[in-house]
Amino acid sequence: MNIHPTAIVADGAKLADGVTVGPFSIIGPEVEIGSGCTIGAHVILEHRVVIGEGTKVGHGTILGGNPQALGFDQARRDTGVRIGKNNTIREYVTINRATAENSDTVVGDGNFLMTGCHLAHDCRIGNGVILANTVLMAGHVEVDDGAFLGGGSVFHQFIRIGRLSMVRGGCRFSKDIPPYCVGAGTNLAMGLNSIGLRRAGLSAEARMQLKRAFRLLYLSNFNVTQALDEAAKENWGPEATLFFDFVRGAKKKGICDYSGKELGADE
């Protein structure tokens, strides 16, 4: 281990081999840090924080702080933050601990959280997610694997962002964003994330099915319930099935509306 002499590591903290802790950082007694992690300068890890191996935490980041929820009893000790392996968490990111009994705010593996992002209590981030600078999430937001959220985008509590979706910068959402879609404006879906789907290795057949699925949901004369009924009459591949399952299971706020942009040949 390489711990700067100005850092404070409390008794009880568990640091594996190969951990580096920068100057003036504070590591609380309930913290566990996996092998090969790098903790920058002026980082605060408090309450129950578990960080998986190979994760890098940038300067000024605060993990495990109390949730910004008025009814939360700050004396509780049974909630925390759990970070997976090989994440990059850049400068001045804040991730608050969870509120529910014996639970964690969760970040999976291989994610990239850029400078100034905020994850409120009880958020759940999957694997391979990218959050550009100053993405802000209220409590209980879920982000599925491979999503890309543009800089300055903001997300209301209790919504879900689907797999391999892409959100444009500076947008705001209080509805679920279906998987594979591009989110834009305020609660709008403007087509498929066609470039992201290719980069993720989806086959031409899968992309064509998703295009058909998107058209059925958004560009037919059906409402959501009718579109799902029509979809149930066909056999779909795994990606389109996931798309319709997501819509079927959307939370009470519903899914994003269609932006009105026509789908191009590549979408």
Give yes or no: residues 128 and 218 share one domain: no
| Residue 174 within any structural domain of the chain | no
Nearest to 125 by CA among 78, 55, 75: 55
Residues 59-70, mean pLDDT to the nearest whole number? 96
Give yes or no: residues 126 and 223 share one domain: no
Q: How confident is the model at residue 13 (pLDDT cuts 50, 70, 90)?
A: very high
| Residue 192 within any structural domain of the chain | no
**Are residues 170 and 155 in contact, defined by beta-carbon separation less than 8 angstroms?**
no
What total of structural domains would you count in the chain? Answer: 2
Residues 19-37, mean pLDDT to the nearest whole number? 98
Give yes or no: residues 131 and 251 share one domain: no
Give the domain range for residue 120: 2-140
Task: Provide the sign of the torsion angle of the four alpha carbons 38, 139, 253, 226, taken in this order.
Answer: positive
| Residue 266 within any structural domain of the chain | no
Give yes or no: residues 8 and 136 share one domain: yes
Beta strands 118-119; 112-113: pairing state: unpaired
Give yes or no: residues 134 and 14 share one domain: yes
Q: How many residues does this entry show for the chain?
A: 267
Give yes or no: residues 130 and 212 share one domain: no
Give yes or no: residues 130 and 216 share one domain: no
Among candidate residues 108, 126, 139, 146, the one labeled active-site is 139
Max alpha carbon distance in the chain (Å)?
67
Q: Where a domain ends, among 99, 117, 140?
A: 140
| Distance separating alpha carbons of residues 225 and 111, to the nearest angstrom | 34
Q: Where a domain ends, among 98, 120, 140?
A: 140
Among candidate residues 104, 109, 122, 176, the one labeled active-site is 122
DSSP labels, 89-134 = E-TT-EEEPP-STT-EEEE-SS-EE-TT-EE-TT-EE-SS-EE-TT
Give yes or no: residues 8 and 123 share one domain: yes
Q: What's the confidence (pLDDT) of residue 265?
A: 37
Give yes or no: residues 136 and 207 share one domain: no
Q: What's the confidence (pLDDT) of residue 261?
A: 62
Q: How confident is the model at residue 264 (pLDDT cuts 50, 70, 90)?
A: very low
| Distance separating alpha carbons of residues 211 and 191, to the nearest angstrom | 9
| Residue 6 within any structural domain of the chain | yes
**Any catalytic annotation for residue 139?**
yes
Strand ranges across the sheet with 62-65:
8-9, 26-27, 44-45, 62-65, 94-96, 118-119, 136-137, 154-155, 172-173
Q: What's the confidence (pLDDT) of residue 238?
A: 98
| Residue 9 within any structural domain of the chain | yes
pTM confidence score: 0.94
DSSP character at residue 77 = -
| Residue 74 within any structural domain of the chain | yes
**Are residues 89 and 61 in contact, defined by beta-carbon separation less than 8 angstroms?**
yes
| pLDDT tens per residue, range 242-252 | 999 999 999 77
| pLDDT tens per residue, range 109-132 | 999 999 999 999 999 999 999 999
CATH classification of the domain holding 211: 1.20.1180.10
Question: Phi/psi at 226 (nearest 5 deg)?
Answer: -65, -40
Give yes or no: residues 132 and 209 share one domain: no
| Residue 148 within any structural domain of the chain | no
Give yes or no: residues 96 and 211 share one domain: no
Give yes or no: residues 232 and 125 share one domain: no
| Distance separating alpha carbons of residues 65 and 134, to the nearest angstrom | 18
| Residue 265 within any structural domain of the chain | no
Among candidate residues 121, 146, 176, 183, the one labeled active-site is 121
Q: Where a domain ends, among 120, 140, 160?
A: 140
Say yes or no to pLDDT of 193 above 70.
Answer: yes
